Structure 1
Amino acid sequence: MVDDRKLLEPLFSAVSLVLRVLLGMMVAGFVLSLFVDGIHVGFIGGDVCVTADGISGSSSDTDEMFGGREGVTVNVSPEYCTSHASVSQQAFEVLHDLPPVILLFGGLLLLNRLLRGAARDGVYTAQTASRLRMLGWWLLVGSLVTEAAQAIAKVELFPTFVRGDMADALGDVWEIPFLSLFTALGLFTFVRIVRAGVVMREDVEATI
């Protein structure tokens, strides 16, 4: 019989490595922020920016600046930034930037827990199915909450950068996270497969 740990490779090793690297970067970033100017922790303290996707423009200067070939027009959308952000602007910046980090880091932690539990208890177990379902719900709900939070942050932040007559130039702020949603649905399907495997294993053990 194949060892369950081998069945989980190379994902098992990759997730473990990525988590260690991310934790190391977080610790290093915190330490450096204490001694080096320009490095900030918690998404607060740096420039606050927002891009207006609803408007764009071009000129010969932008064509040259961004390396456009002859006959090619380079369209650019303005990015508004301030290095003297108010408390509310910083709060909206955090609301925009922090949720995807939480989604990623939380998903990696749940995936790491799933893989370690499967290596320890077995792939076809009720515990593995439960952890797989939890990861699916985290991805499904988390991706929607992240999109909503980022949309709200952009809608609230943009008017603080422009005149009132430009407030409608932000453009689309909501994108349906199709990949995350279908991945979550795929995980729910695998939950059913694992549960079916658990029943089959129990039937075989009862027969033996």
Structure 2
Amino acid sequence: MDAVAKKRTIKVRNPLDLLTTLSGMAVCLVVGGYGWAAVTTLFGGGTLFGYGHDAVPCVATGDMGLDSDSGNWLLRPHAGIEVVPTHVNLCTQNPSAGQRLWYTLENLPGTVTLIVAVLVTYLALQRARNQGPYSSGFAAKLRFLGWFLLADSVLRPTIQIYASRRLWTSMADGPMDHSWQPVWACLLAGIALVTLARIMTAGTAMREDLEGVV
């Protein structure tokens, strides 16, 4: 009877297995994709951050309001109608070293954010799957990711706008219409993760106290 009961026992899968697998796939795609881009750029067949044989660094403007008399347009707006072209790109086929540098600095922060977020999420889920969600390692990784996203929400737009303006001034005269604002998604996610890390830390301490009593 015991043998039959054991055979009928259903193996309970860890509920975090699917998330861990998906996050692992995301890590492979992100790291592998940038790694492949780096290799192809090194051998002259690809582009990465403004480097490579066919790289064309560009900088996008903000919203630029122009009236109907300020230029020649394919359409003909009526009198008093404002033409608002958005995301006008300035590109150079023969970038200087400085232009490549500013283009890299403009795009690199977003890439770093993506790689760090995907990698830390994978490591946190691995720790939660192996040791449970109420573990010091899982809480520490959540806390790190939360503070990273909070810092990223402020530093990333600051760096990007500064680099964009420097790249803009190397391609055109006149001010660049870009206003600074935090990355709201990262800001809110960072606050949520830091709060969740504190909850997990308190839960871990309670679990350790109960295990000590038992």
Q: Smaller-chain TM-score range?
A: 0.7 to 0.9
Q: 2:143 aligns with which of 128, 133, 141?
A: 133
Structure of higher CA gyration radius: 2
Q: 2:178 aligns with which of 152, 172, 178?
A: 172
Where does residue 41 of structure 1 map in the other structure? 48
Query: Counterpart of 1:191 in structure 2: which amino acid?
Result: A
- Give the CA deviation at 1:155: 1.6
Where does residue 192 of structure 1 map in the other structure? 198
**Runs of at least 5 residues in structure 2 that lack an aligned partner in the other structure:** 1-10, 77-81
Where does residue 3 of structure 2 map in the other structure? none
Q: 2:38 aligns with which of 5, 30, 38?
A: 30
1:1-208 equivalent positions in 2, closer than 5 A? 6-33=14-41, 37=45, 39-45=46-52, 46-57=55-66, 61=74, 75-77=84-86, 78-163=88-173, 167-168=174-175, 170-208=176-214
RMSD, aligned CA: 2.6
Q: Is 2:57–2:92's contact at 8 Å kept on the other side of the alignment?
A: yes
Q: Is 1:56–1:75's contact at 8 Å kept on the other side of the alignment?
A: yes
Task: Name the CA distance, whole Å, in 1 between partners of 2:151 and 2:12.
Answer: 29
SS at match of 1:61: coil
Q: Is 1:43–1:98's contact at 8 Å kept on the other side of the alignment?
A: no
Q: Is 2:17–2:129's contact at 8 Å kept on the other side of the alignment?
A: no
**Runs of at least 5 residues in structure 1 that lack an aligned partner in the other structure:** 64-72
Q: Is 1:132–1:187's contact at 8 Å kept on the other side of the alignment?
A: yes
- Give the CA deviation at 1:54: 4.2
Task: Name the CA distance, whole Å, in 1 between partners of 2:32 and 2:89.
Answer: 31
Q: Give the TM-score, by structure 2 length.
A: 0.78
CA distance change for structure 1 residues 129 and 35 in 2, over 3 Å: closer, same or farther? closer
Q: Is 1:155–1:173's contact at 8 Å kept on the other side of the alignment?
A: no
Task: Name the CA distance, whole Å, in 2 between partners of 1:81 and 1:144.
Answer: 27
* Runs of 4+ residues over 3 Å off in structure 1: 30-37, 56-60
CA distance change for structure 1 residues 161 and 129 in 2, over 3 Å: closer, same or farther? same
Task: Name the CA distance, whole Å, in 2 between partners of 1:110 and 1:12.
Answer: 11
Q: Give the TM-score, by structure 1 length.
A: 0.80
Task: Name the CA distance, whole Å, in 2 between partners of 1:26 and 1:179.
Answer: 23
SS at match of 2:14: helix
Q: Is 1:5–1:119's contact at 8 Å kept on the other side of the alignment?
A: no
Q: Is 1:4–1:122's contact at 8 Å kept on the other side of the alignment?
A: no
- Give the CA deviation at 1:34: 5.1
Does 1 or 2 have the higher relative contact order (CA < 8 Å, sep 6+)? 1
